[in-house]
Amino acid sequence: MNQLKVFWIILSDALRNLLPIIGVVVFFQGVIVREIPDNLTSLILGLGIVVVGSALFLQGLDMSVFPMGKSLSHRFARLGSLPVLMGFGFCMGCVGVMAEPALLAVSQQAEQISMGQINGLILRLIVALSVGAVIALGIMRMLLGHPIQWYLIGGYSLVMLVTFFAPAEIVGLAYDSGGVTTNIVTVPLIAALSLGLAGMVRGRNPLNDGFGLVALAVIVPMITVQLYGIVVYGTQAVELIEPRAVLTPNMDEVPAEFEVDGLLEELLMLMRDLSPLIAVVMLRRPLSRLPSLVAGLVMTLVGLYAFVLGLQLSLFPIGARMAEQLLAFDHVGFLYLFTFMIGFASTMAEPALVAVGRKAEQVGRRRLKGSLLRLIVATGVAIGITVGVHRIISGGSMHLYILIGYSVVLFLTWLTPKEIVALAFDLGGVGTSEITVPVVIALGIGLATHIEGRSVLNDGFGLIAFASIFPIISVMLYAIIVRQLQQRPRW
């Protein structure tokens, strides 16, 4: 009965997280577009599946993965061995990212749009191995006491350098792949590990040293995916399919997705992808806990499948359809307004952002307000997505926008109070999680689909990158302004 009560609470939270997005869509459909979607029933069904799948997935994690991850973190930390801790961090990073629903959704879209030139499984493996490696590096940095600023500045400088040589077909996808790694599975695992180690190692400050690992987990996938793109597209021409078949399928054919053979095949593929995570969870577990662990893993598996299926039926079509409808207006102001509102509403509801904001308030001894941080990050995400949409409409260079954005970030890093730098980079990563990512991806691909002269692969991806850059800028600017006001002499 206790588990049912917990599930109901999680289900209610999942529904409440979607309400701001639903409110924005209903407003624009009813007041601006004045049109009822033809596939309304399928959209409502898909949203319901997203809510239930998200609740099952999160409760399954709470019953199995998260408790075991915390227990293993404490166990390995007590050993005090740097190689052992780095190996553990590498494994946790890899298995956590492989289970990320947002990365799964992005890899599926990339494989379909590129006609298989980008392999979805290879893309996820590259990202997972990259995150594992960078978490191991972050653990070494923390234990050795190196300043996080040097790692962040060096990492993003390397990202910008690789971007000069990367083909246009991969740049947006690479930045998006880095953004979606910090999601509902990875963020809690990384936060628990980094803050736990910062609290256990003598001479470390949780605010200065406990944050930053999430930001590092964003950087390396950007580099490795661009290198993967150089290999794939170095001498190949890009041949794109008609993306409407990917994002807006005929809803009359949707029930075919529920055929038993297809369902079993999808579940077996997800079980394959989650097998490393299952192996870690089952490591040296007492038999008395086995039924609870198995139940949690089953819920995680079923919830993940339902979540991804619900995205395909609801949030992806909603984003693509709204892009098409708003482009039909003579004035793009409505599109910019929708982009800003949907970005702000979805970010304010992100569970990962709520969690990191609370942690920052706790370790900052109430000097930082979690609710204020959420407002600042949500505003940054909304501005970033709006700028990204303007780039797609105007046809600007993705390389140029990204390089300018990160140049501003690196400049502000020198001016921002050092205790805020790592937190600012982390908040930029967690602002794009399981709610924001599907809508943003669908919006970007939908715009690139319906604007003449745009390439879906070149221009459709990349909005998540903008949604990650601008929150970092907004948090840093806030910290700089607050410090200046505090230092102003009082007359």
Round to whole Å and give the CA distance between 308 and 104.
Answer: 8
Report if residue 6 sits inside a domain. no
Round to whole Å and give the CA distance between 458 and 450.
Answer: 14
Name the residue with tokens 């407003």: 27
Name the residue with tokens 């029933």: 41
Report if residue 32 sits inside a domain. no
At residue 387's C-alpha, the angle toward residues 231 and 21, to 5°, is 100
Report if residue 9 sits inside a domain. no
Report if residue 22 sits inside a domain. no
Write out the two tokens for 236.
């190949």
Q: 231: part of which helix (H) or strand (E)?
A: helix 213-233
Question: Which pLDDT does position 86 carry in this prediction?
Answer: 82
DSSP 8-state class, residue 478: H
Question: Which pLDDT does position 239 carry in this prediction?
Answer: 42
Q: Which of 231, 162, 233, 169 has its CA nearest to residue 403? A: 162
Per-residue tens of pLDDT for the chain, all 491 residues: 577 777 788 788 778 777 888 888 888 888 888 877 777 787 888 888 888 887 887 777 677 666 665 566 566 666 667 787 788 778 878 877 877 777 877 888 888 888 888 888 899 899 989 988 988 888 888 777 777 778 888 888 888 888 888 888 888 888 888 877 766 667 666 766 676 666 666 666 655 666 777 778 888 888 999 999 988 886 343 444 444 334 433 333 334 344 444 545 555 555 555 555 556 555 555 545 667 777 777 787 787 778 777 877 877 777 777 887 888 877 788 889 999 998 898 888 776 676 677 667 766 655 667 778 888 999 999 999 999 999 998 888 887 888 888 889 889 988 888 878 888 888 887 777 767 777 788 888 888 888 888 887 778 888 888 888 899 999 999 989 888 877 765 54
Helix, strand, coil abundance in the chain, percent, nearest 5 = 80, 0, 20
Q: What is the pTM of this model?
A: 0.73
Question: Which pLDDT does position 80 carry in this prediction?
Answer: 62
Q: Which of 170, 181, 168, 250 has its CA nearest to residue 221? A: 181
DSSP 8-state class, residue 117: S
Report if residue 226 sits inside a domain. yes
- Cα-Cα end-to-end distance for the chain: 62
Question: Which pLDDT does position 275 carry in this prediction?
Answer: 58
Round to whole Å and give the CA distance between 224 and 147.
Answer: 24
Report if residue 33 sits inside a domain. no
User: Residue 159: which domain range?
Assistant: 40-487
Report if residue 235 sits inside a domain. yes
Report if residue 319 sits inside a domain. yes
Based on the structure, what is the number of domains in the chain? 1
Question: Which pLDDT does position 251 carry in this prediction?
Answer: 34
Angstrom distances, CA of residue 250 to CA of 107, 246, 247, 254, 257: 22, 10, 10, 7, 12
